[in-house]
C-alpha cells in the first residue's frame, strides 16, 4: 500500500504487508487514520501521515469490502465485512488513547 501526495504526485510512504495484501477497500478518516484489510484476515488501522500500523484485529475471514464509518452521539463507528460476518467497532469520544473496542452486532 502506498500514500501519494496529491499536490506533488510523490509517494509519501509505503506499507508492506507480510504475506501479501488483500482485496479490501480502503477508508481514510479526517482524524488521519487509514482502515483496510491485510492478507492475514486482519482489519488494520494505519497512521495516514506515516503508514505505521496502529491497531489490528484478526477477523478470521477475507475482508472483501471497503470499511464504512459513521458518527452517532459523538462516537465514531466502523463496520466491515469479513467472510460472511459484519463486524462493528467504536472509537469512544471520551477515550483519549483513541483505542478501538469491538462490539458484536
Give the closest residue to 78 by CA, choosing from 55, 51, 52.
55
pLDDT beneath 70: ranges in the chain: 19-22, 93-105
Pick the CATH number of 2-103 from 3.40.50.80, 2.40.128.630, 2.40.30.170, 3.90.480.20: 2.40.128.630
**Residue 54 has which C-alpha cell?**
496502529
At 105 the pLDDT is 45
At 65 the pLDDT is 87
Amino acid at each position: 500500500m502506498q500514500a501519494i501526495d496529491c499536490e506533488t504526485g510523490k509517494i509519501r510512504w509505503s506499507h508492506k504487508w507480510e504475506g501479501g495484501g488483500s482485496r479490501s477497500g480502503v477508508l481514510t478518516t479526517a482524524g488521519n487514520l487509514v482502515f483496510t484489510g491485510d492478507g492475514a484476515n486482519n482489519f488494520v488501522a494505519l497512521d495516514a501521515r506515516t503508514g505505521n500500523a496502529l491497531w489490528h484485529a484478526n477477523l478470521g475471514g477475507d475482508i472483501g469490502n471497503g470499511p464504512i464509518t459513521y458518527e452517532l452521539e459523538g462516537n465514531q463507528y466502523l463496520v466491515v465485512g469479513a467472510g460472511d460476518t459484519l463486524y462493528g467497532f467504536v472509537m469512544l469520544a471520551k477515550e483519549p488513547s483513541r483505542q478501538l473496542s469491538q462490539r458484536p452486532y
